[in-house]
Amino acid sequence: MRRRTSPTHPFQDDSHGDRIQKVLAEAGAGSRRACEAAVAEGRVTVNGHRIDGLPAWVDPATDDIRLDGRRIKAPDRQVYLMLFKPKGYVCTNSDPEGRPLAMDLVSHPSHARLYPVGRLDLDSSGLLLLTNDGALANRITHPRFGMHKGYEVMVGGRVEDGEVERLKRGIFFSGRDDREGARTAQSRLVVLKRDAGRTLLYIELREGRDRQIGRMLANLGHPVRKLRRVRMGPLQLKGLQAGQWRELTPKELGLLREQAFATPQQRAARKDDERPSPAARAEARTGRRGGSARDARTARGAGYDSRSTPAKGRAPARRAKGARPQRSR
């Protein structure tokens, strides 16, 4: 029977970093069990020292870790930022027309290559999530997973109750070949303020189509004058001015992941059991902003919080706990 010997490598201080099998697994070298086997077979070196047994603790940021002679690189830190995109910026990493890029408003110390999750048109503003987490981005943007996005929309003309109901039910678009298009997914709609010349709406969608909101309203003869995204799933645009950004708080990220990676059964249960958010307090605000009592009751029932974004001339809402807004210089 082969006698087990104690490791002789110099990486036995647990304050040095993470267990080597964890670092190898996170870098894509295999499962933890497979990485442990690689160590036992003498295939792993750190800073030129062969790891001849476990335990071993390493720091992937500073140590030269190799498996079968190939350098193991630490995975990029995953970054999650909320940006208040102003009007006049495009949501892309490069633009052949030379227009201002929303990405240029962010200078994160990690220097990670970030991508916008979903898009906002050049003339739209509001919440834009930036991350290098492709799996989460796919869950948020793919219609299959039903992640809702909420928008404040100012339109021309007075949107009457009958038109509101038609929008709530979903309307039909014409396809490119003039055939009847697909029906929009059920949306949530709240009238925040309306008069003869304009109407302020809150619209929540669970599917994303090119210029969907503008097309919905254009079908009813109400051109969009201003559009701002104020919600994305559990995230609310608050604590930021246009052009500022901040990291998501741990609580925000946890809620976002929970909703994005929910099972079909959990998503169905959430739709059935969806309760109004603290946004139900919009009744008082909509009354002060000129909406009718009926509009206020509608806002209360839909669970929209108009305080999530600062209105022009008012101080910004209290920012999320632990969040520090940044403005790139």
- The CATH number for 151's domain is 3.30.2350.10
**Same domain (yes/no): 63, 209:** no
Note whether residue 328 is domain-resident. no
- CA–CA distance, 82 with 61 (Å, rounded to integer): 26
Contact present, 224 and 153 (Cβ < 8 Å): yes
What is the residue range of 217's domain?
80-279
Q: What is the pLDDT of residues 75-118, one digit of tens each?
A: 778 899 999 999 999 998 888 999 999 999 999 988 888 989 98
User: What local confidence, expressed as pLDDT, does residue 76 receive?
Assistant: 74
CATH classification of the domain holding 59: 3.10.290.10
317 part of a folded domain:
no
Question: 202 and 167 in one domain?
Answer: yes
What span, in angstroms and rounded, lies between the C-alpha atoms of 27 and 46?
15
The C-alpha atoms of residue 133 and residue 76 are separated, in whole angstroms, by 10
Q: Residue 239 in contact with residue 318, Cβ under 8 Å?
A: yes
Binning pLDDT at 50, 70 and 90, where does residue 28 land? confident
Number of separate helices (H) and strands (E) present in the chain: 9, 17
Residue-wise over 72-86: b if at least 16 C-beta within 10 A, else e?
beeeeeebbbbbbbb
Domain-embedded: residue 4: no
Residue that wins the pLDDT comparison between 316 and 30? 30
Last residue within a domain, chosen from 26, 43, 71: 71
On whether both 100 and 219 belong to a single domain, the answer is yes
- pLDDT band at residue 316 using 50, 70 and 90 as cut-offs: very low
Output the pTM of the full model. 0.66
Q: What digits encode the pLDDT tens for the residues 169-186?
A: 765 554 444 444 455 555
CA distance 314 to 310: 6
pLDDT(231) > 90:
yes
Does 124 lie in the same domain as 235?
yes
| 289 in any annotated domain | no
Tally of domains within the chain = 2
Terminal Cα distance for the chain, rounded: 67
Looking at the fold, whether 230 and 135 belong to one and the same domain comes out as yes
Question: Is residue 272 in some structural domain?
Answer: yes
Residues 131 and 104 in one domain: yes
Residue 223 lies in a domain: yes
Q: How far apart are CA 242 and CA 224, in angstroms?
A: 20
Comparing 152-166, 278-292, 309-323, which segment has the lowest mean pLDDT? 278-292
Whether 63 is in a domain gets the answer: yes
Report if residue 285 sits inside a domain: no
Q: Are 166 and 255 members of one domain?
A: yes
- Least Cα distance to 112 among 62, 78, 72 occurs for 78
Tell me which residues are annotated as active site.
Answer: 121
Q: What is the mean pLDDT of the chain?
A: 80
Asked whether residue 54 falls in the same domain as residue 188, the answer is no
d(CA 304, CA 150): 9
Residues 109 and 86 in one domain: yes
Q: Which of 31, 46, 71 is the last residue of a domain?
A: 71
Same domain membership, residue 112 and residue 49: no
Collect all residues with Cβ–Cβ distance below 8 Å to 243 and sequence separation of at least 6.
84, 86, 105, 327, 328
- Kindly state whether residues 220 and 186 are assigned to the same domain: yes
Residues 240 and 99 in one domain: yes
Average pLDDT over residues 299-314: 50
